[in-house]
Amino acid sequence: MTNTLHRFGTAESFRDDYVIFAMCCRGKNDEGALPKLKKFLEMAVPFRPVNLGDARHGGALRPSRSLNPTSHWNRDMTPDFQAVIDGLDTTTTVAAVFDNRPAAEAFLDRVREADLGLSINVSTSVDGADQCCHAAGINRHSVGYSLGFEGKTEKLPNSQVLTLMTLCGHGMIASSLAKKMIDWVKEGRRSPDQAVTYLSRFCSCGVFNPARAKRVLEDALSKTR
């Protein structure tokens, strides 16, 4: 089970969204797990992830207490993967996010070879996860399904907003913020890259996928032209 299970979209829409987690279980394999978790993150970097994160400190783009909101738009938008690795100081869930299946498959195969003794979770479409496991030469252990939204679904935000806000598994991207970024991109007030960087910093778990978010924003922009 993972909170990324509830990312919104069709199976096809996850073609650029692969999240690979590593975690340990308290009292089972947590002793000496911290360097293994760090190694997991270090191994991911050569495969060019679009984000790295740990559930305690966030992802490769983070907020800062020393800056005011107006300075955000002039900040460096380069993800700092090394800061995520160096900042990991306790056992927690760590993740690497990829925007293409070949990279995810190659990384999962590398993780299999390393045999770190950690639990590994692949979050994407069911078919995409199956393909990753097949490429790595392993059998899928189990599968989790999200049953979607029930009830008065007419009160939900539109699909573009839902896609953006569910990219953070802990719900730290508000629907109003996602809608605001979509509107600003449509109005030409911010570029998709700027809006994506802004949204990324609100994700406290580090599993936000900037590539997928950018695609959503660019799609919204194309429909206004």
Q: Average pLDDT in the 60-87 region?
A: 82
Residue 91 structure tokens: 């056992």
- SS3 per residue for 158-177: CHHHHHHHCCCCCCCCCHHH
- pLDDT level of residue 208 (50, 70, 90 thresholds): very high
Percent of the chain with pLDDT over 70: 96
Say if residues 58 and 31 touch (Cβ distance below 8 Å). no
Terminal Cα-to-Cα distance of the chain (whole angstroms)? 40
Averaged confidence pLDDT in the chain: 91
Say if residues 205 and 55 touch (Cβ distance below 8 Å). yes
Given this model, what pLDDT does residue 18 score? 97
Least confidently predicted of 5-14, 93-102, 139-148, 170-179: 139-148
Of 207, 182, 204, the closest CA to residue 192 belongs to 182
State whether the Cα torsion 38-40-41-43 is positive or negative: positive
- pLDDT level of residue 75 (50, 70, 90 thresholds): confident
Q: Average pLDDT in the 191-209 region?
A: 93
3-class DSSP state for residue 40?
Answer: helix
Q: Parallel, antiparallel, or unpaired for β 51-54 and 18-23?
A: unpaired
Given this model, what pLDDT does residue 65 score? 73
Of 223, 207, 113, 128, the closest CA to residue 167 belongs to 207
Neighbours of 69 (CB within 10 A): 8
Q: Give the domain ranges of the chain.
A: 3-222
DSSP-derived secondary structure for 50-77: SEEEETTTEESS---TTS-GGGGGGS--
Q: Which helix (H) or strand (E) holds 113?
A: helix 101-114
Q: Average pLDDT in the 149-162 region?
A: 92
- pLDDT level of residue 148 (50, 70, 90 thresholds): confident
- pLDDT level of residue 67 (50, 70, 90 thresholds): confident
Q: Average pLDDT in the 134-153 region?
A: 89
Backbone conformation region of residue 213, classed left if phi is above 0, alpha if psi is from -120 to 50, else beta: alpha
Given this model, what pLDDT does residue 225 score? 63
pLDDT(1) > 60: no
- Over residues 174-197, the pLDDT tens digits come to 999 999 999 999 999 999 999 999
- pLDDT level of residue 88 (50, 70, 90 thresholds): very high
Burial class for 153, CB neighbours closer than 10 Å (0-12, 13-18, 19+): exposed
Q: Which helix (H) or strand (E) holds 114?
A: helix 101-114
Given this model, what pLDDT does residue 70 score? 66
